[in-house]
Amino acid sequence: MDTSQITGLILAGGRGTRMGTVDKGLQMFRSAPMALHVLMRLSPQVGYVMINANQNIAPYEGFGVPVWQDEMQGFAGPLAGLQTGMVHCDTDYLVTAPCDSPFLPADLVERLAAGLEEKNADLAVAVTGAGDTRQAHPVFCLAKTSLLPHLTLYLQEGGRKFDKWYASLNVAEVHFDEEDAFRNINTRDELHQLETD
């Protein structure tokens, strides 16, 4: 798969409730907003990048990429962000990463694409750990944009859970050893701890 023909989507559409109802993507981390760290890591891996945000649109637009608000009203979660990305995507594939994951792997897209092609899947999802520590990270996914009608119907019927949405799809689970690369910074304490490490 030609990764230059994949669009990247940074998911920054949440309320940031666990961080005190602040916009997580705009919280400073090592002298730059967290979402900008994600943008810098994701951009070299794809042909195009856009951001899904529902507040503070102007600061996100300052990053120099298109910014789109949810098509659905009411902060409907990351799946609503994925749907919005698919609506505005001009490529056949869309890869997502959350705005609070500044350590995402530099080969995320390449490996998800390889997994998707190998299984001839609709969707590829990052997975870490094994056994009891095994964890899927569905907000790090590569999806065919042709899934838009399927996703829209799921959302219209009240669905919000990522794993329940893709349970009926052909999914490739791509294992990554580097668990810390998928770490989300969810609280101010975590942010402060990482700044001082």
- DSSP 8-class letter at 44: G
The domains found in the chain, sorted by start residue, are 3-196 (3.90.550.10)
Sequence letter at residue 140: F
Nearest of 56, 15, 50 to residue 33 by alpha carbon: 56
How far apart, in Å, do the first and last CA atoms of the chain sit? 38
Provide the pairing of β-strand 135-144 with 123-128: antiparallel
Q: What is the pLDDT of residue 17?
A: 45
Q: What is the pLDDT of residue 191?
A: 54
Q: What is the pLDDT of residue 56?
A: 93
Residues facing residue 53 across a β-bridge: 12
Backbone angles phi, psi at 103, to 5 degrees: -110, 15
User: What's the pTM value of the predicted model, to 2 decimals?
Assistant: 0.90
- Which segments in the chain show pLDDT lower than 70? 14-21, 75-76, 186-197
Q: What is the pLDDT of residue 189?
A: 54
